Structure 1
């Protein structure tokens, strides 16, 4: 047992409890910098976030496989764990926050252009700062909304299905 397990009494999930989870926010950072960097760099941040989402889903599938051993229904339980994690993470870590930060930045750049006489470079840096500042504020509402969405839709299909948590 590592030191962090001794303190909490449970295993550390590297995708939820360590710095690795910040890789899921790469696309929000990319969207914040969209006005300043080539669009190919923004898309590269989506690749990082998508790799994180995929790795977490695979990890949860492996954990479900170990948990269910050779019991009947193991394949279904593993599939549920992978699908639920992937869909939840794709929505909560990539799609919705990426779209949200994109729109926040686009709106702020537009409004700064209409309401200030600041040079374009200052407006772009201000837009980037606004986008980066917005990230911590959107995480919890998006996570909770995705939980509600999946609880009222996809998760109803799982008979005793496991949530992503």
Structure 2
């Protein structure tokens, strides 16, 4: 996480399992409804986090509409990009390429290729989190955050 939070094993596991990258990694093995369900869980998490940040920005001070809106929008956009859209697309493409390449370069049976693809997808997740988080920070700092608060983050 780009906010400097220390990771424990429990935190890491809960962080990974609520993300749709796991669904994408298993796409070759499970019904597509499982994958879409993982996106629904991830989207619910993103929405809940955005609402929570809005409540924290509001506090006990009514009349902070702009601050609340900025906190909600910033959190929702950041989480949507960094936790759902970019990682889901990345793992989807890694797995698709892996399955394709395994089909072209090995004579392994299809179930073995599918399980190998899933293992590759799962093993990729820890390596993409930090670069994606930092890239989304840079993207928002260079665009949306300039519009509403001179580039300051609202984590």
Q: Name the TM tier (shorter chain).
A: 0.7 to 0.9
Is 2:107 the counterpart of 1:117?
Answer: yes
Is 2:141 the counterpart of 1:148?
Answer: no
Higher relative CO (Cα under 8 Å, sequence separation at least 6) belongs to: 2
Q: How many residues align?
A: 146
CA 1:31–1:38: 2 relative to 1, 3 Å: same
CA deviation digits over 1:20-72, x for unaligned, max 9? 544542x10000000000101100000000000000000000000007x14x6
1:164 shift after superposition: 3.9
Q: Which runs of 5+ in 2 are unaligned?
A: none
Over aligned residue pairs, what C-alpha RMSD do you find? 2.0
Q: 2:147 maps to which residue?
A: 157
Q: 1:134 maps to which residue?
A: 124
Q: 2:28 maps to which residue?
A: 35
The structure that has the greater radius of gyration is 1
CA 1:123–1:23: 2 relative to 1, 3 Å: closer
The normalised TM-score by structure 2 is: 0.88
Q: Which runs of 5+ in 1 are unaligned?
A: 1-11
Distance 2:119 2:133 in 1: 23
